[in-house]
Amino acid sequence: MIPDEIYVQKTIEGDAEAFNELVQRHHARIYGLAYRMLGNPDDASDAAQEAFLEAYKSIQSFQFQSKFVTWMYRVGINVCQQYKRKSDARNRTLTSYTKDLRDREGQYVNHCPDRLLLKTERDQLIQHAISQLPSKQQIVITLFYMQQLKYREIAELLDCSEGTVASRLNTAVRNLKSKLESLQPH
């Protein structure tokens, strides 16, 4: 398989289709990241689209020192964080989780059954708990557990030490555990 960086080079030389090959390869990861960070498919789609557009526009700043995918994750994380700030400003917090759940289920069934991403209530619970974590913890959890990145890769991506990644993961899982306990219907 042709390495991503070859396509990056072609993109820099003015070949937009080369970049579209990168979109084809990585859109699912970036969408997945956005979905875990933002918690709903519509925002995740928009954020993924914006992340790729942002990456395309600033492809000149890619230094060829890291892998393209690492750089792309970084762009994706930045875009998602901007989105979160915006949605925090919109103050879209719902009054109760059960209402949220019911609304979402209704929404999926009525309008977009093909977007039924969270099949079970448990998955929704977890996603909801993840959405409530601070963004730094969401990021490590998503990258480590869902995107299967290694400590070293996450550390490089977030520009911190592997120790920081490890301790942030600990905190994240511990927080998530207590959130799940409080959300879990008994």
Partner 1 sequence: MSLDCKQVIEDFSLHQDPALTHQEKLERRQHLIECEVCRNEYEQMLHTAVVLESLPEPVPPPGLVERIQTQIRQTHRRSIWDFLANPIARILVAMKLGPHPTFVNYTAMLFYLMLTAFMVKLTFFSSTETPPVALTHAPSPHVRLVRLADVKHGSLKSVRIEKEKPSEVPIQSTPSDFH
Q: Please report, as ranges, the residues that interact with partner 1 according to CB under 8 A.
A: 14, 16, 19-20, 23-24, 27-28, 31-32, 35-36, 41, 44-45, 48-49, 52-53, 56-57, 60, 112, 114-115, 117-119, 122-123, 126-127, 141, 145-146, 151, 161-163, 165-167, 169-170, 173-174, 176-177, 180
Least distance in angstroms from the C-beta of 101 to partner 1: 17
Q: 153: buried, middle or exposed (CB in 10 Å: 19+, 13-18, 0-12)?
A: buried
Nearer of residues 101 and 166 to partner 1, judged by Cβ: 166
Nearer of residues 53 and 94 to partner 1, judged by Cβ: 53
Question: Which value, to the nearest 10 degrees, does the dihedral of the CA atoms of residues 153, 128, 88, 27 take?
Answer: 40
Nearer of residues 89 and 166 to partner 1, judged by Cβ: 166
| Cβ–Cβ < 8 Å for 52, 23 | yes
Least distance in angstroms from the C-beta of 145 to partner 1: 4
| Cβ–Cβ < 8 Å for 11, 22 | yes
Contacts of 63 (CB under 8 A, 6+ apart): none
159 phi/psi in degrees, rounded to 5? 60, 50
Least distance in angstroms from the C-beta of 136 to partner 1: 15
